């Protein structure tokens, strides 16, 4: 069942032969563009104002035609389809023009499903949350088999998309490639293997656990093999559903004694995680990564299990991850240290991810832990306010930023109050919880976030919104020179 060298060019579906992608900078869209370009498609698309210039150069270097202004004339009859991320709000002249021309308009999930179905053998990573680490590890685990990939988060030193030279395509189907103000973006696709990381509520994609189980069972039923990362009750329920009647082969991975691939030990040295796993035959293998935390060790175990379920050699898989996976930028990574206060960046969005990152951050400091959260979407923040509060209670001090949303007007009650109340109820003193909002009389964000921090303390900036993405360097500047204005371009 191991991968084979590809002897012919990749066959792409006609809709993806010359697609136009709206918002190439959105999570998942750049990975899709890079994969399609490498597979021989004529890819073009737009980026928003102030897009990351490094990303634009990366796309153009791969042969993607990038335009900076989203105007109707960008889309023409020479395009095979228009693909959009689902994270776009406001007027969409490019999509409107595509419809006028009669072009297929595809969501990101639909385009991803078409690419997976066209690949000789698809390997998909799905779940209510936490798909990124396992998905990003699989190309390293299967690199010796020439796998291609389409990822929502690019591994350090790697691109988010690559066509590869073998018959395997790894695709991250995680819901966080879209906004949490949009309806669920999910398209069924057939795969050789499906790896599932979590099954729980994640509004609006999965309104509750049962909805998540229904979606994930529907996906996995059409896979040949299913690998389940058993870390919560939802995943055990999914395992029961899949084994209660005939269906795909099921492989379990986790810490439980009866797991097919078992996480035996996880040690953090201060710079590296040393993860010992047991394979199908009872042999032990050690994998070394740069990512701290039990949750990343579980993701490593799941990726190892998926590779073995595809028939790969255990020693080659362990060696491939250790040698070629260098972490994920922004996934609990160090931004820097000033005056012995360290700032970390976390791209966690779901409460379970936030709790896991804050638990791991506790291993890195004996001082005060400050969590700064830019919540993701009014729908998710409102629906999971209590769970967010429980997760944030793992910190000593909490700063809540305005909710990140692409919507310009929102007719709902500001959910920050509910999150603050839940955080207080979970044990953080109310005086240590700040809901910061911009205004002419408000203290600066940098001063608010760093207030009270000192040598040995740790600040974790959590979120993927515009404010959180650029906040780390600004905090370090303020800590180093608190009386000096932070440069506007930092």
Domain boundaries for CATH 3.90.190.20 within the chain: 331-480
Fold that domain 119-327 belongs to in CATH = 3.40.1190
Q: Find out whether 15 and 38 touch, Cβ atoms under 8 Å.
A: no
The whole-number pLDDT of residue 407 equals: 67
Domain with CATH 3.40.50.720 in the chain: 14-107
CB-based contact 94:72 (threshold 8 Å):
yes
Residue 219 CA, chain-centre distance (Å), reads 19
Reported in sequence order, the residue ranges of 133-182 that DSSP labels E, i.e. its strands, are 148-150, 161-162, 168-172
Residues 137 and 299: beta-carbon distance below 8 Å: yes
User: Cβ distance 140 to 229 under 8 Å?
Assistant: no
Q: How far apart are CA 445 and CA 453, in angstroms?
A: 14
Cα–Cα separations (whole angstroms), residue 242 to 130, 207, 299, 422: 21, 21, 21, 35
Q: At what angle do helices 385-392 and 416-425 cross, to 10 degrees?
A: 50
φ/ψ (deg, to 5) at 459: -120, 125
Crossing angle, helix 29-38 and helix 108-118, to 10 degrees? 30
Pair 47, 94: CB distance under 8 Å: no
Q: Which CATH class is domain 14-107?
A: alpha beta
For the chain, which ranges sit under pLDDT 50? Answer: 1-8, 179-184
Domain 331-480 class, CATH top level: alpha beta
Please tell me the pTM assigned to this model: 0.93
> Which of 289, 275, 306, 261 has the alpha carbon at shortest distance from 131?
306
Local structure of 178: helix, strand or coil: coil
User: How far is CA 178 from its chain centroid?
Assistant: 10
Q: DSSP label at 404? A: B
Which region, left, alpha or beta, applies to residue 75 given φ > 0 means left and ψ of -120 to 50 means alpha? beta
């Amino acid at each position: 069942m191991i991968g084979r060298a590809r002897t012919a060019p990749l066959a792409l579906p006609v809709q993806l032969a010359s697609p136009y992608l709206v918002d190439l900078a959105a999570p998942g869209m750049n990975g899709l563009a890079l994969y399609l370009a490498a597979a021989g498609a004529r890819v073009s698309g737009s980026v928003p104002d102030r897009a990351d210039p490094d990303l634009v150069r990366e796309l153009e270097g791969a042969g993607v035609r990038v335009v900076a202004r989203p105007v109707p004339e960008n889309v023409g009859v020479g395009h095979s389809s228009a693909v959009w991320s689902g994270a776009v709000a406001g007027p969409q002249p490019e999509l409107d023009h595509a419809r006028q021309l009669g072009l297929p308009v595809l969501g990101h999930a639909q385009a991803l499903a078409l690419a997976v179905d066209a690949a000789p053998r698809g390997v998909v990573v799905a779940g209510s949350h936490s798909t990124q680490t396992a998905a990003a590890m699989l190309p390293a685990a299967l690199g010796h088999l020439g796998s291609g990939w389409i990822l929502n988060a690019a591994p350090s030193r790697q691109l988010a998309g690559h066509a590869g030279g073998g018959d395997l395509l790894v695709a991250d189907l995680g819901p966080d490639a879209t906004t949490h103000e949009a309806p669920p973006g999910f398209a069924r696709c057939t795969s050789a293997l499906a790896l599932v990381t979590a099954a729980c509520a994640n509004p609006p994609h999965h309104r509750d656990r049962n909805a998540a189980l229904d979606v994930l069972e529907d996906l996995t039923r059409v896979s040949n093999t299913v690998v389940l990362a058993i870390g919560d009750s939802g995943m055990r329920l999914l395992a029961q559903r899949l084994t209660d009647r005939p269906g795909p082969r099921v492989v379990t991975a986790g810490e439980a004694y009866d797991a097919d691939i078992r996480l035996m030990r996880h040690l953090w040295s201060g710079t590296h995680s040393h993860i010992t796993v047991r394979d199908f035959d009872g042999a032990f293998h050690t994998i070394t990564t740069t990512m701290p935390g039990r949750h990343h060790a579980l993701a490593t175990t799941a990726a190892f299990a998926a590779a073995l379920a595809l028939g790969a050699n255990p020693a080659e898989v362990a060696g491939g991850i250790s040698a070629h996976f260098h972490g994920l930028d922004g996934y609990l990574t160090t931004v820097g240290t000033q005056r012995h206060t360290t700032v970390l960046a976390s791209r966690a969005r779901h409460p379970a991810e936030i709790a896991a990152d804050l638990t791991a951050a506790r291993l890195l400091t004996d001082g005060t832990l400050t969590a700064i959260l830019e919540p993701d979407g009014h729908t998710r923040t409102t629906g999971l306010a209590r769970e967010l509060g429980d997760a944030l209670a793992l910190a000593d001090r909490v700063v809540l930023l305005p909710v990140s949303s692409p919507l310009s007007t929102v007719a709902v009650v500001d959910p920050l109050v509910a999150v603050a109340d839940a955080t207080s109820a979970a044990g953080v003193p109310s005086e240590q919880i700040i809901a910061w909002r911009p205004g002419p009389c408000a203290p600066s964000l940098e001063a608010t976030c760093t207030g009270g921090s000192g040598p040995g303390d740790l600040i974790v900036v959590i979120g993927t919104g515009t404010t959180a993405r650029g906040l780390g360097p600004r905090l370090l500047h303020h800590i180093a020179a608190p009386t000096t204005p932070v440069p506007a371009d930092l």
